């Protein structure tokens, strides 16, 4: 495809030879002749030029180049569109695979695609162009919105509600019982969990992630929230809208991540805590208390990142200076008779390494 | 259902209007007119009253109220029973779904329910009223006890033994090979794992949790233990009885959690360590050594919680006072000519608690 | 089987009664009469003798024993071979189970075994004696090498390449989209991920582990690498060769673990970081920066282990001595008139920040 055709279809302005043929779009590390690549700033433009790529997509403000440029408003959006264009997703055939098992009272839009070995329970509703890939299990009374894609081996427990344009990756489990027991007569008794999980539009959920059903009400994943792989969301949590949770993070029961929170990988949030709008939680951090909006948190237990970093650095400093510190502490602690000052030399009225001259 | 009928069926004493009609049972946050809710102490009773709920279940010692109360011995047990009553679990049809594949020599009780797309290997035994939901895979020589429920996509590797009344949530993997290799000739060689997993009665295992088979003997989950989602139990561990492991926690090979241990989320236990009876392990803590019974542990590496909290607090204190501390340290470290004593005033030869006698 | 026959088949030298009958091979903790067990050093030989085992496999250098010994070059290799001999894996029947669904253009070697409820997409290639167990899902354009075993419920996204002699345990998800979004117009937009996952020969991947596809290029697991359960490998990572990653560890996008790295459980590696050849990463450690080859790292954030341990120990020491330290700090901070020196001895009025005027 020639750059001219790309410009015609996707917009932007070509600076250079618009008749150049483009075979694919890739990052600068993989780019070479025949490739289109992209650069957000000076440094990556340099790399792009060095790569021998035939064309570089750049934002309005970036400098000109001997390499042919394609200048556009939003490089990210432009590249994402081109990627989708060069690598179109196969659209699954509408209809129900003969090996699928569908329960009574379930209504499946005829544009939806139900793959092999799928099992759908009773009284479910599956929207237009929704896709259930191989071996998905949907239990009774679930709703799945239009354009939603559910990858293989996902399990939806009864009464799960999934909005439109949701993506759920393979192996995710939505709606398992919350983890709640009470002790009585020396044994652990299970709290029944009769709530459900509600996932709003435009959410993406990663592979093997688990979202438990509410005890009474719903566990709620709000519009536009993105959750990575192997994440644990306990019963009655509320997440989003537009919140990001990276891989292996976990939320305790009834905790809340408000709008626009960014939670890095392997972080944990204690049950019944609320993390305010726009908070950023660092990797592996442990949130043990409510967090006010807009804060950046780090550490275990988590603190405002500035404070956490200062403490980490200062412990390093103290440890590096552990010899004088030990001396200082010993000096203060040990009552010493005038005649026997222990390790402090008699002539040295000072502590530690301070030369005697000072002591006069 | 009227309160009078509830009392007749489940016991307890009504204080107020026993003819009130109850539609559902919910927590105080969701309660309103027509609802029954519950309160364990004064504060939640206040919330329950404010909710407009028609009736509040309370323990014997709680105060009277203008709202109708239902007083009973154990609020938790009473509420759990009511929840099961108002939200009865559908009992799956006994029998084997025609799409299921059953191996030779396998005996399935005729009251058991084998769902669609299930695959059971050879020589298995499945007990009375046991339920294997859609797409469960049971490999050869497994045993599954009576009343056990296995949710979709669970995989039992060969020779797994599951007791009675066990619940295994979707996607759990029971009996995969332990993670063991030895180095030889510059490569990594796999230790065969020929043991199995034994899960005793009344255990519950969370979604996508992994329990590896033993190398020679069994990995053992003892009676009444409850394990949350995404937990890792390595080969040859022993857990329980009546032990609780929250989500994303992990145990190294051959480690032991004795009876009644409570392990919070994302905690880790090193291989070959024993955590004694009744120990409580805090979230994200890292257990690197044996822990004596009854201790409460926290931190990374984990210490008795008192000590851990003291250290965390004291590092905060030190960091807050880092300026004077830095000065103290510099004073002790820097060799200083008599004429130029830097920041240490000439007349002050000592620091801290050094007895006056020394200073002379 | 008599020891003599074992020696004949597997080599080694018997010291003792080579006519002894052996029923099984087990660890010393499970051993008794009729069992063969093994010992690497003096201590375990003692345990083996005490166990009453009929024979102990030992390395060349270990002492003689009243118990019959079987001396061999590599105890580990010998034991592993015997374990495989006494517990032979059932070899699955070649062929395609009638319930499996196979896409167009897919070529399956006739010695391969495709289990029940398996779904294979279009244009895949499956090598000789490869095994796809029950309910495995392989999407379009995948390649699976010879002798590879894929356990139940594994999902391979399109274009995944798996080498020879690979083992993938139940529930692993290979090739889900990388977790990447960009913000624009106030919303989160998905980065298309058009790369794939390449798994080289002799790799083993644990249950429910997730390996995401690359954005443009491949996420690469190199030859002989072993990955445990519930591990997260993000898009565009490169791991190995012969690297070990224990359970629940996680790697951020585009990070690299070079050859022979050993990463313990629940550790995390930040995105775009490179961990050099032979590095060892401690459990739960958080790698926030590149790590030079051969280092041993520990802690959060991770540091060279020596330094990390020193800091942990020193914080303990400081906290234990918090009373004198607090005093020292207060002394320095509080301006004190000469006449009232508080707890500081009269002759020593200053430390640190105290203004010079005081010191006179």
CA distance B146 to B113: 11
Supply the mean pLDDT for chain B. Answer: 91
* Shortest alpha-carbon distance between residue A154 and chain C (Å): 10
Q: How confident is the model at residue A335 (pLDDT cuts 50, 70, 90)?
A: low
pLDDT of residue C186: 81
Q: Please name the member of C206, C316, C348 whose beta carbon is closest to the beta carbon of B348.
A: C348
pLDDT of residue A55: 97
Last residue of some domain: C59, C86, C113? C86
Residue pair B188/C224 in contact (Cβ under 8 Å)? The answer is yes
Chain C residues whose CB is inside 8 A of the B307 CB are: 316, 319
Answer yes or no: do C275 and C327 share one domain.
Answer: no
Residue pair C257/C272 in contact (Cβ under 8 Å)? The answer is no
Contacts for B68 with CB less than 8 Å, ≥ 6 apart:
B3, B14, B15, B16, B17, B18, B20, B54, B55, B56
ipTM of the complex: 0.91
Answer yes or no: do C228 and C279 share one domain.
Answer: yes
Tell me if B350 and C348 make a contact (CB, 8 A cut-off).
yes
Q: How confident is the model at residue B120 (pLDDT cuts 50, 70, 90)?
A: very high
Q: Is the dihedral of CA A343, A348, A350, A353 positive or negative?
A: negative
Within-domain flag for C296: yes
* Residues of chain A above pLDDT 70, percent: 92
Answer yes or no: do B166 and B299 share one domain.
Answer: yes
pLDDT of residue B353: 28
Q: How confident is the model at residue A341 (pLDDT cuts 50, 70, 90)?
A: very low
Last residue of some domain: A86, A108, A135? A86
Answer yes or no: do A199 and A240 share one domain.
Answer: yes
Q: What is the mean pLDDT of residues B217-229?
A: 97
CA distance A44 to A31: 12
Answer yes or no: do A164 and A260 share one domain.
Answer: yes
Reduce the DSSP state of residue A243 to 3 states and report it: coil
CA distance C294 to C298: 13
Whether A274 contacts chain C with CB within 8 A? no
- The active-site residue, picked from A151, A193, A235, A306, is A235
* Shortest alpha-carbon distance between residue A195 and chain C (Å): 26
Tell me if C188 and A284 make a contact (CB, 8 A cut-off).
no
Q: How confident is the model at residue B22 (pLDDT cuts 50, 70, 90)?
A: very high
pLDDT of residue C54: 96
User: In angstroms, how far is CA A162 from the centroid of its own chain?
Assistant: 20
pLDDT of residue A187: 86
Higher pLDDT, C243 or C356: C243
Name which of B14, B79, B19, B11 is nearest B44 in CA terms. B79
Question: How many other C-beta atoms lie within 10 A of the C-beta of residue A290?
Answer: 13
Q: Does residue C352 carry a pLDDT above 70?
A: no
pLDDT of residue B334: 65
Name which of C155, C182, C180 is nearest C169 in CA terms. C155
Q: How confident is the model at residue C335 (pLDDT cuts 50, 70, 90)?
A: low
Q: Does residue C258 carry a pLDDT above 90?
A: yes
CA distance C302 to C313: 15
For the domain that residue C274 is a member of, what is the CATH number?
2.160.10.10
Nearest-by-CA chain A residue for C102: A116
HSE-up (13 A, CA, CB side) for residue B216: 17
Per DSSP, the residues of A121-157 read -SS-EE-TT-EE-TT-EE-TT-EE-TT-EE-TT-EE-
pLDDT of residue B332: 82
DSSP state of A185: T
Higher pLDDT, A124 or A328: A124
* Shortest alpha-carbon distance between residue C320 and chain B (Å): 9
Answer yes or no: do C273 and C339 share one domain.
Answer: no
Q: Could you say which residues from 39 to 68 on chain C have a Cβ atom under 8 Å away from some Cβ of chain B?
A: none
Whether A124 contacts chain C with CB within 8 A? no
Answer yes or no: do B208 and B238 share one domain.
Answer: yes
Q: Does residue B340 carry a pLDDT above 70?
A: no
Answer yes or no: do B295 and B158 share one domain.
Answer: yes
Q: What is the mean pLDDT of residues C215-219?
A: 95
Residue pair B316/A308 in contact (Cβ under 8 Å)? The answer is no
CA distance C158 to B221: 37
Q: What is the mean pLDDT of residues B60-72?
A: 95
* Shortest alpha-carbon distance between residue B184 and chain A (Å): 33
Within-domain flag for A236: yes
User: In angstroms, how far is CA A183 from the centroid of its own chain?
Assistant: 35
Within-domain flag for C95: no
Q: CA angle, B215 as apex, A172 and A207 as ends, to 5°?
A: 10
User: In angstroms, how far is CA C212 from the centroid of its own chain?
Assistant: 18
Tell me if A135 and C157 make a contact (CB, 8 A cut-off).
no
Answer yes or no: do B272 and B128 share one domain.
Answer: yes
Q: Does residue B347 carry a pLDDT above 50?
A: no
Rounded to whole angstroms, what are the CA distances from A316 to A319, A320, B286, C315?
Answer: 5, 6, 21, 10
Contacts for B334 with CB less than 8 Å, ≥ 6 apart:
A353, A354, B342
Whether B115 contacts chain A with CB within 8 A? yes
| Structural domain total, chain B | 3
Chain B residues whose CB is inside 8 A of the C84 CB are: 192
Q: What is the mean pLDDT of residues B114-138?
A: 98
Q: What is the mean pLDDT of residues C223-239?
A: 98
Q: Out of C174-183, C309-318, C323-332, which region has the weakest mean confidence (pLDDT)?
A: C323-332
Q: How confident is the model at residue C359 (pLDDT cuts 50, 70, 90)?
A: very low
Within-domain flag for A262: yes
pLDDT per position as a tens digit, A121-152? 999 999 999 999 999 999 999 999 999 999 99
For the domain that residue A70 is a member of, what is the CATH number?
3.40.1390.10
pLDDT of residue B358: 28
Q: What is the mean pLDDT of residues A230-257?
A: 98
Reduce the DSSP state of residue A305 to 3 states and report it: helix
**Whole-structure pTM value:** 0.92
pLDDT per position as a tens digit, A154-208? 999 999 999 999 999 999 999 999 999 998 888 899 999 999 999 999 999 999 9
Within-domain flag for A92: no
CA distance C181 to A280: 16
Interface size, chain A vs chain C, as Cβ–Cβ contacts under 8 Å: 175
Whether B262 contacts chain A with CB within 8 A? no
Answer yes or no: do A35 and A161 share one domain.
Answer: no
Domain hosting B346: range is 321-359
CA distance A207 to A184: 37
Tell me if C181 and A226 make a contact (CB, 8 A cut-off).
yes
Residue B275 falls in which region: left (phi positive, over 0), alpha (psi -120 to 50) or beta? beta
Q: Does residue C341 carry a pLDDT above 80?
A: no
Within-domain flag for C315: no
Q: What is the mean pLDDT of residues A296-306?
A: 97
Q: What is the mean pLDDT of residues B113-127?
A: 98
Mutation choice for A interface testing from B48, B283, B302 by most A CBs within 10 A: B283
Q: What is the mean pLDDT of residues A71-87?
A: 94
Q: How confident is the model at residue A342 (pLDDT cuts 50, 70, 90)?
A: very low
Q: Does residue B159 carry a pLDDT above 60?
A: yes
Q: What is the mean pLDDT of residues A322-334?
A: 87
Answer yes or no: do A234 and A300 share one domain.
Answer: yes
Last residue of some domain: B57, B86, B115? B86
Nearest-by-CA chain B residue for C243: B188
User: Is the peptide bond preceding residue B301 cis, with omega within 30 degrees of 0?
Assistant: yes
Kindly report the length of chain A.
Answer: 360
pLDDT per position as a tens digit, B267-285? 999 999 999 999 999 999 9
pLDDT per position as a tens digit, C60-110? 999 999 999 999 999 999 999 999 999 988 889 999 999 999 999 999 999
Q: How confident is the model at residue B335 (pLDDT cuts 50, 70, 90)?
A: low
Q: What is the mean pLDDT of residues C131-151?
A: 98
Answer yes or no: do B152 and B296 share one domain.
Answer: yes
CA distance B162 to B156: 9
* Shortest alpha-carbon distance between residue A73 and chain C (Å): 11
Q: Could you say which residues from 153 to 182 on chain A have a Cβ atom under 8 Å away from some Cβ of chain C?
A: 153, 167, 169-171
Q: Does residue B352 carry a pLDDT above 70?
A: no
Chain B residues whose CB is inside 8 A of the A311 CB are: 315-316, 319
Tell me if B176 and C329 make a contact (CB, 8 A cut-off).
no
* Residues of chain A above pLDDT 90, percent: 87
Within-domain flag for C354: yes
Q: What is the mean pLDDT of residues A65-89?
A: 94
Within-domain flag for A219: yes
Supply the mean pLDDT for chain A. Answer: 91
């Amino acid at each position: 495809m020639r750059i001219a055709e790309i410009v015609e279809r996707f917009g932007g302005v070509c600076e250079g030879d618009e008749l150049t043929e483009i075979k694919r779009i890739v990052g600068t590390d993989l780019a070479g002749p025949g490739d289109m690549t992209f650069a957000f700033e000076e440094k990556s433009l340099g790399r792009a030029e060095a790569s021998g790529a035939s064309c570089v997509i750049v934002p309005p403000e970036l400098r000109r180049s001997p390499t042919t440029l394609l200048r556009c408003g939003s490089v990210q959006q432009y590249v994402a569109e081109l990627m989708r264009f060069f690598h179109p997703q196969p659209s699954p055939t509408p209809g129900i695979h003969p090996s699928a098992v569908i329960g009574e009272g379930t209504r499946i839009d005829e544009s939806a695609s139900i793959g092999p070995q799928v099992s759908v329970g009773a009284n479910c509703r599956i929207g237009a162009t929704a896709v259930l890939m191989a071996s998905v299990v949907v239990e009774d009374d679930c709703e799945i919105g239009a354009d939603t894609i559910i990858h293989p081996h996902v399990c939806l427990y009864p009464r799960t509600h999934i909005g439109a344009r949701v993506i759920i990756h393979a192996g995710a489990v939505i709606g398992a019982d919350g983890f709640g027991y009470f002790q009585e007569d020396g044994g652990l008794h299970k709290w029944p969990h009769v709530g459900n999980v509600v996932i709003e539009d435009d959410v993406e959920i990663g592979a093997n992630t688990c979202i438990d059903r509410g005890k009474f009400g719903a566990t709620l994943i709000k519009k536009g929230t993105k959750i990575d792989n192997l994440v644990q969301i306990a019963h009655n949590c509320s997440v989003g809208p537009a919140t990001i949770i990276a891989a292996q993070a976990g939320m305790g029961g009834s905790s809340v991540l408000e709008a626009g929170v960014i939670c890095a990988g392997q972080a944990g949030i204690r049950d019944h805590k609320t993390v305010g709008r726009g908070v950023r939680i660092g990797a592996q951090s442990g949130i043990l208390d409510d967090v006010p909006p807009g804060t950046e948190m780090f550490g275990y237990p988590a603190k405002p990142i500035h404070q956490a970093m200062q403490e980490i650095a200062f412990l390093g400093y103290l440890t590096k200076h552990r010899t004088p510190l030990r001396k200082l502490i010993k000096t203060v602690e040990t009552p010493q008779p005038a005649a026997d000052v222990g390790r402090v030399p008699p002539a040295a009225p000072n502590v530690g390494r301070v030369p005697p001259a000072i002591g006069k």
